[in-house]
Structure 1
Amino acid sequence: MTMSDLRLVLFDCDGTLVDSAKLIHEVMVRTFTHFQYAAPTLEQTKSIIGLTLDIAIARLQGKAHADEEAVGMMAYYKSIFLQTRSELGFEEPLFDGIREVLTSLEAREQLLIGAVTGKSRRGLNMIVQTHQFGKLFTVSRTADDCPSKPHPAMVTECCDESGIPPSRTLVIGDAIYDMQMAKAAGATAIGVSWGYASVADLLSAGADAIARTPDDLLRLIG
């Protein structure tokens, strides 16, 4: 097998691999309440999952850009995240069928698997440790490494590191930001229907295909 035979599959994390909306929303509610703002609704929180945290907070406040206050709220969010995560009922479980799909993909010699996530590096490491992913992700980029989605840097940097061009790269995610990021990078965008954005929104954002079950990913990746 040569490099020209390899393909890169980059997974978003929240809403694609793990169901983290309940946890993210609870931490966001506690953060907004601490800063004496009205708490966002669950649907509002779902709409910003995938963005870098300071930008996500600013969006929930109706701001176009993250300002000093949003950065301060981000710091508070991070400071209470682990404690909230440890409480009963706020785990980040894998979606049903995801582990089996990842195991199948990992066994394919022609594929390299990576992660592109709005989580921090610490957050991604916790997911890897919690779900015993081992060395599943050959390459990865987080909110600590790159500009927020939909900027294409997460994808292009993973491509550069792996030596696989965007034309042979698939980005799998549940958010419009994932689809926009993939298309901006020149990669194939596959949306998943079990996450936090509607299928219609994913298609409008540029999805080349939609996986309606995890098993669909095995067919779409080929």
Structure 2
Amino acid sequence: MDLRLVIFDVDGTLVNSRAAIVHAMRAGFAAVGRDYPGDAACLRGVGLSVDVMFRALVPDAPDTELVALRSAYQQAYYDHRASLGSEAMAPFYDGARDALDRFRAQDTLLMAAATGKSLRGMQAMIADHGLEGYFQSVQTADHHPSKPHPSMIHQVLSDTGVDPARAVMVGDTSFDMQMGRAAGVATIGVSWGYHPAEALDADQIITDFAQLDAAVDALTGGHP
């Protein structure tokens, strides 16, 4: 079969985890006695691996402090999720679940995830949102260099056997778009995430999930 592939970022693309990330960031910085750098600065780094994100936020911090900051951030995030559940803490954006269901119904269209989340966090998100079996490949920050390195997409392409010309990366940050280009796949930027749409430099920008199907068809050669 002539398969096509849609690779999704998660935070800021499929689910709105803004409040949860800000909550955990504030807790992390408080735990190490650092001034909070502000919501905007922290959200600009969403999508990067946690270590890379914190190094960019506090470049003068020693490694021991960065380890403590990461640990406090992750623990606050996990505790928050345990209290609320992923569905309440990071709900789907409007239309996201319907789009996933439409794509899942197409026999020759596969889906994958490439996210800066940890594997533990991604597994919880899949379970809490009822997405078991939706993604043919799930790549997380645990086993890859940080975005925008193309390693995650290379692994997704290897797992699915889809030609890069028939694949597209969907994300909300410039890191997602740079990763897609580096891997040789088309890119779709969403306007509702953590980076402004004008900064994405994507092949196409969508402002609503209702526009995603046509964008995917245009960039992957349409239905076989």
Q: TM-score, normalised by structure 2?
A: 0.91
**Where does residue 122 of structure 1 map in the other structure?**
120
**Where does residue 13 of structure 2 map in the other structure?**
16
Residue 220 of structure 1 pairs with residue 220 of structure 2: no
Residue 144 of structure 1 pairs with residue 139 of structure 2: no
* Paired residue secondary structure (1:191): strand
Residue 76 of structure 1 pairs with residue 67 of structure 2: no
Of 32, 38, 46, 1:41 maps to 38
Aligned-pair CA distance for 1:38: 0.5
1:105 partner letter: F
In 2, Cα distance between equivalents of 1:198 and 1:53: 21
Aligned positions, number? 215
In 2, Cα distance between equivalents of 1:213 and 1:109: 24
In 1, Cα distance between equivalents of 2:39 and 2:8: 23
Aligned-pair CA distance for 1:138: 0.6
* Cα deviation code 1:64-92 (max 9, x no counterpart): x9944323321222223221234469711
**Where does residue 166 of structure 1 map in the other structure?**
164
Question: Could you tell which deviates more after superposition, 160-169 or 43-52?
Answer: 160-169
CA contact 1:156–1:166 (8 Å) conserved in 2: no
> Percent same amino acid among aligned pairs?
37
Flag structure 2 segments of 5+ consecutive residues without an equivalent.
218-224
Flag structure 1 segments of 5+ consecutive residues without an equivalent.
none
In 2, Cα distance between equivalents of 1:218 and 1:110: 14
Calculate the aligned-residue CA RMSD, in Å.
1.8
* Paired residue secondary structure (2:200): helix
In 1, Cα distance between equivalents of 2:152 and 2:56: 21
In 2, Cα distance between equivalents of 1:173 and 1:67: 30
Of 181, 184, 187, 2:185 maps to 187
1:219 partner letter: A
* Paired residue secondary structure (1:144): helix
CA contact 2:137–2:159 (8 Å) conserved in 1: yes
* Paired residue secondary structure (1:16): coil
* Paired residue secondary structure (1:24): helix
Q: TM-score, normalised by structure 1?
A: 0.92
* Paired residue secondary structure (1:10): strand
2:16 partner letter: D
CA contact 2:80–2:89 (8 Å) conserved in 1: no
2:76 partner letter: I
